[in-house]
Structure 1
Amino acid sequence: MSDDIRQCILRRARGRLASDGAPGLSPDALADELSLTASEVREHFRTRDDLLTALIVDAYNASGAAMEEADTAAGKAGLEPGARLLAVARALRGWAAANLTEFSLIYGSPVPGYDAPPETVPPASRTPAVLARIVHDALVAGALRPPSRTLLAAPLIRDEAVAVFGQLPPAPYSELLERGIVLWSGLIGLLSFNVLSRTHDSVRDQAAFFDFGVAVAAEAVGLDVPLPG
């Protein structure tokens, strides 16, 4: 019963977030709307920030799960790394289009006065972990083209990112992790433009342009993404 109340509160909070934004989230206001006492709501979420954290964790987990499921299916189908990358990017795009409020919450403008706690980090890491796994598999399979030039005199990567990938890649792929972060950030930026209608005045086919953008971004790591003819 307690979990039912928690989920009911979160569903209403998502509705509030969509209609009023983060400033509209308030445990007391939600209590009134749900015919609950303030203490019943605060038993689960003491503050607005507690609500935001729960919504952020749920959004990261849902989007990460969509990508993981797509990659599992692509792997079972025997797809090459480039095709796997396209599959997971499309899965993230599908999730974002169906959940614009949640997508904007985790990838849009920061909420003033809110500092994400450490518990948001593991869910947020699911997206780059999927991308890292695909790039790593491509490296092992010899499916990556080496870069035309080396840009860094010394690594810029943190130990935490190395741990996600598994190791520092050898030359000539010594910049692969930094380039992978460029791929990740490029995917999120492309997605933001695509699902939030930033490219609708200049591009005829949004889905085709998204696929094209994924292929262009993948070139940063030397991965070829096959595009439909």
Structure 2
Amino acid sequence: MTEPATAPLRARERARAELMSELLAAARARLEAEGSAALSLRAVARDLGMASSAVYRYVPSRDALLTLLIIEAYDAVGQVAEQAAADARELGPAQAWLAVARAVRRWALDQPYSFELIYGTPVRGYRAPDDTVQSALRLWQVIIGLLMEAGGDGILDPAGPDFDPAGRMAPEAYASAGFTDPSTVPDDVARTAIRSATLFTSLVGAISVELFGHLHRVAEDYARFFDVTIATAAAGVGLRISLD
């Protein structure tokens, strides 16, 4: 008996979802053509054949649209990393990290404008809201999970320097792991956080120099050069990767 009342609502929900999908697709196309700094709701509305006032009913501002694209990109790379880690789990954490890094690189080369949006130059005047944090953490959680697995297996053998972890990570980094007071963070947890940041920065850096053309006349085989970069940084934090 309720179907006649709920059917129009479901139809509206489907129509809204379809419009949002089209809107995001148009925004991605604009992002690729003009870059994030030039993104505007008016241009996206024009591409969809809609009045800009109609688009504002779905997305209230340019920044809100950027946030949707950023969350989408973070979720995409997070999903890629999670799947790669799961597929390579039997190889052990070190080789799984190489598999994750390779998968993220493939994603970045296939989606360079999405990579640039989340890991490139910040958009002037835009401040990412907390809504983006959970999606941004997905890749970090993969990295931390692999380091914790390696530590639990007793195979971490850092080639890098020994260090005092105190004061090296921002309090917000520990807050995301449930530690509201940085002084209560155990040293082993702090070291894992710092090592995860090392792996993250080596991954983003290795992809960035390739994507933005800084390896021209430097590397002969970009994929093999990337593997060596990732393996060298990983050895510093204790993951010994075998390259074949």
Unaligned runs of 5+ in 1: none
Amino acid at match of 1:185: T
Q: Matched residues in 2 for 1:36 and 1:171: separation? A: 56
Q: Secondary structure at the match of 1:89?
A: helix
Q: Matched residues in 1 for 2:149 and 2:69: separation? A: 32
Asked if 1:58 is matched to 2:81, the reply is no
Closer, same or farther: CA 160–143 of 1 in aligned 2, 3 Å = farther
Question: Equivalent pairs: percent with the same residue?
Answer: 36
CA deviations on 1:53-105 (whole Å, 9 max, x unpaired) are 11100000001100101111112xx1111110000000100100000011011
Q: Matched residues in 1 for 2:160 and 2:49: separation? A: 63
Q: Matched residues in 1 for 2:31 and 2:126: separation? A: 15
Q: TM-score, normalised by structure 1?
A: 0.90
**1:219 offset after TM fit, Å?**
1.6
Cα pair 1:147 1:173 within 8 Å, conserved: no
Amino acid at match of 1:204: E
Between stretches 208-217 and 192-201, larger displacement belongs to 192-201
Between stretches 91-100 and 185-194, larger displacement belongs to 185-194
Aligned length: 226
Q: Matched residues in 2 for 1:68 and 1:212: separation? A: 22
Query: Residue 9 of structure 1 aligns with which residue?
Result: 23
Closer, same or farther: CA 79–7 of 1 in aligned 2, 3 Å = same
Q: Secondary structure at the match of 1:175?
A: helix
Query: Residue 210 of structure 1 aligns with which residue?
Result: 226
Cα pair 1:169 1:176 within 8 Å, conserved: no
Could you say what the CA RMSD is over the residues aligned between the two structures, in angstroms?
A: 2.3
Asked if 1:47 is matched to 2:67, the reply is no
Q: Matched residues in 2 for 1:86 and 1:165: separation? A: 24
Asked if 1:190 is matched to 2:190, the reply is no
Q: TM-score, normalised by structure 2?
A: 0.84
1:91-102 equivalence runs, <5 A: 91-102=103-114
1:24 counterpart (30, 33, 38): 38
**1:26 offset after TM fit, Å?**
1.8
Query: Residue 38 of structure 1 aligns with which residue?
Result: 52
Closer, same or farther: CA 225–119 of 1 in aligned 2, 3 Å = same
**1:36 offset after TM fit, Å?**
1.5
Cα pair 1:67 1:91 within 8 Å, conserved: yes
Q: Matched residues in 1 for 2:193 and 2:54: separation? A: 46
Asked if 1:132 is matched to 2:144, the reply is yes
CA deviations on 1:175-221 (whole Å, 9 max, x unpaired) are 33212212211211111112332113111110001010110110221
- Higher Rg: 2
Q: Secondary structure at the match of 1:61?
A: helix
